[in-house]
Structure formats: structure tokens, C-alpha cells
């Protein structure tokens, strides 16, 4: 029975010794080894051998990029307004020895340093500039934090401001201003649209008037050309026919009824040459009538 107990004790001691001797470090992890309380070496990923009861491996450090989101911090701007700023920070452990021995808690140190730097940076800016200069604030924060955390074995890769919340009264005023700006832009766009519509309508009316005038001009020219052709044709026909005074008098007599149709035509002027021509026409008509035989009626003989 005693032998069994001794064997069990020996087995436990051997197992504990092996556990302290053989250490397996996962990928993207690092372990700091202390020998008799002093720094000895840094374990890289893989299998490592340690001297049991002499070497002590401190908790493994994560070498991957880490994300830390801090609570919103009240910060006073240059124009004495309190804004609440919510930030997030991306960092990575580059030197496990420095991260272990240069600072007790590097996450807490980064948080306090971020808050202090935020207050210093925002304190030199107005609220309006703070709201519109996020990239500038991020760059300043990253520069200060990267320089300060370098001795801790930490590299700050990126700093982002998630939210910048002004006081409630300022938010209401900003919303009213934004609403007024939107209404102003809408009114300007509406007026511009009405102006463009009026311009287009005026241009259309102008083009329509030009086209109507051009059409009227062409119609007048064509009508004048037609009348000129008609006058030329009549003139040529008169000259080719060589009319005498009797023919002209006869044409005038045919035109007299058309002249008399007007209600205001009360006085007619007849040229003297036309009167003599009319007399000749009347005499010719009389001669023609006298040369014809008298009409024969029933029961009468011609003389």
C-alpha cells in the first residue's frame, strides 16, 4: 500500500516537472521567461523547454492587432462648449519585454493617454472645426500616442472618433440651421427652375415669332411674284393682241358694273378718249343692228 502511494507521488512530481519543463506557445503569442526573478528570454511560437522550478513563464501576450473602445469622454472646446467624444483605438504589441516591464497595464495607460491627448487637441479647436476635422484629430492623436507608447513596446496603428456629440441645445440649433439651409436651397432651386422655364418659354416664343415672320415674308414674296407674273402675262397679251379703242371701251363698259357695286362709289370719272371710243362702239353696234333684216312675225311679210 505504501509502495502504491509512493508511486503515485512520484508520478505526480514527474508530471508536474514535465509540465514546467515543456511549454507550447501558440501562434501570434509570446511568453516572457524569468529565471530566479530576472528576465531571461522571450518564448516564440512553438515548443520551448524551461528549467523547472527555476524558470517562470509569465502570462502569454497577444501579438495580434487589438481594438479598444473607450467610454465617451466629455471634452471642452475652444469656444467653451462641452462635447462628448467616443473613440476607438487599434494597437499592436511589438516588444513583449517592454510591454511587460515598462508599464503595469498598457491598456489602461493607452486609455488615459488617449483621453488626455483628446482634451489637449479638442481644446484648441472650436465646435464647428471639431465636427469637420475628424481626419486632422485622428492624425494628431495617432502621432502623440504612437510616440508615447513606443517605449512600452506598443505600436498604435489607427485612432478613430466614432461619435462627437454636442450639447442638446447646440444640436437643436444645428438642426434648425440645417433645416433653414435646406429650405433656402430648395427655394433657390425652385427659383432657378422657374427662371430656366421662363427663358426656355421666351426662346420658344421668339423662335415661333421668327418662323411666323419668315413664313409671312415668303408668302408675301410669292404673292408679289405671282401678281408680277400675272401683270406681265396680261401686259404681253395686250401688246401681242394690239387692242384698239373700241375693245378698250368695251372692256371698260364691262368693268363699270363692278365699280358701281361699292356703296361709297358715287362719282365716276370717264376719260374723254374713252367717251369717243364708247361713241364709236355705240355707232358700230347701231350699224350692225341696222344691217340685220327685221324679224318676221306670224301673218306678216317682210317689206
How confident is the model over 171-203, as pLDDT tens digits?
677 677 777 888 888 888 888 888 888 888 888
112-129 tens-digit pLDDT: 898 888 888 888 888 888
**Least confident interval from 50-54, 125-129, 146-150, 263-267:** 263-267
Q: Which of 50, 123, 44 is nearest to 85 (CA)?
A: 123
Q: Are 122 and 137 in contact (CB under 8 A)?
A: yes
Query: Where are the alpha helices (H) located in 76-167, listed in sequence order?
Result: 96-101, 106-122, 127-132, 134-149
Q: Find the distance separating the first CA and the last CA of the chain, reported in whole Å.
A: 197
Q: For residues 91 and 158, what is the distance between their CA atoms, to the nearest angstrom?
A: 7
Q: What is the mean pLDDT of the chain?
A: 79
64-118 tens-digit pLDDT: 999 998 888 888 888 888 888 888 999 999 999 999 999 989 889 998 898 888 8
pLDDT at 183: 82
Q: Which of 37, 31, 38 is nearest to 57 (CA)?
A: 31
Q: For residues 270 and 125, what is the distance between their CA atoms, to the nearest angstrom?
A: 107
Q: Are 90 and 32 in contact (CB under 8 A)?
A: no
pTM assigned to the model: 0.53
Cα–Cα distance list, 215 to 209, 219, 222, 226, 227 (Å): 10, 6, 10, 16, 18
Model confidence at 303, in pLDDT bands (50, 70, 90)? very low
CB atoms within 10 A of CB 32: 20
Write down the CATH superfamily of domain 66-166.
Band 7 domain (3.30.479.30)
pLDDT at 290: 53
Amino acid at each position: 500500500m505504501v509502495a502504491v502511494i509512493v508511486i503515485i507521488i512520484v508520478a505526480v512530481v514527474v508530471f508536474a516537472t514535465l509540465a514546467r519543463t515543456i511549454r507550447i506557445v501558440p501562434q501570434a503569442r509570446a511568453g516572457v521567461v524569468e529565471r530566479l526573478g530576472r528576465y531571461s528570454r522571450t518564448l516564440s511560437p512553438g515548443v520551448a523547454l524551461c528549467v523547472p522550478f527555476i524558470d517562470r513563464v509569465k502570462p502569454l501576450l497577444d501579438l495580434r492587432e487589438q481594438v479598444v473602445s473607450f467610454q465617451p469622454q466629455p471634452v471642452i472646446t475652444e469656444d467653451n462648449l462641452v462635447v462628448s467624444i467616443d473613440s476607438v483605438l487599434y494597437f499592436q504589441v511589438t516588444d513583449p519585454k517592454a510591454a511587460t516591464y515598462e508599464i503595469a497595464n498598457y491598456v489602461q495607460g493607452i486609455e488615459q493617454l488617449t483621453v488626455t491627448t483628446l482634451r489637449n487637441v479638442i481644446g484648441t479647436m472650436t465646435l464647428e472645426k471639431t465636427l469637420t476635422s475628424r481626419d486632422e484629430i485622428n492624425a494628431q492623436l495617432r502621432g502623440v500616442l504612437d510616440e508615447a507608447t513606443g517605449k512600452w513596446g506598443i505600436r498604435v496603428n489607427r485612432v478613430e472618433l466614432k461619435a462627437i456629440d454636442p450639447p442638446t441645445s447646440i444640436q437643436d440649433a444645428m438642426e434648425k440651421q440645417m433645416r433653414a439651409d435646406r429650405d433656402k436651397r430648395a427655394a433657390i432651386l425652385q427659383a432657378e427652375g422657374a427662371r430656366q422655364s421662363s427663358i426656355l418659354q421666351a426662346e420658344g416664343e421668339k423662335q415661333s415669332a421668327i418662323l411666323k415672320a419668315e413664313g409671312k415674308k415668303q408668302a408675301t414674296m410669292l404673292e408679289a411674284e405671282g401678281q408680277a407674273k400675272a401683270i406681265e402675262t396680261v401686259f404681253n397679251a395686250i401688246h401681242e393682241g394690239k387692242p384698239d379703242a373700241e375693245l378698250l371701251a368695251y372692256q371698260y363698259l364691262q368693268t363699270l358694273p363692278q365699280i358701281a357695286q361699292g356703296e361709297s362709289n358715287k362719282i365716276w370719272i370717264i376719260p374723254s378718249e374713252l367717251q369717243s371710243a364708247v361713241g364709236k362702239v355705240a355707232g358700230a353696234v347701231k350699224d350692225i343692228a341696222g344691217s340685220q333684216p327685221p324679224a318676221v312675225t306670224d301673218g306678216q311679210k317682210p317689206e
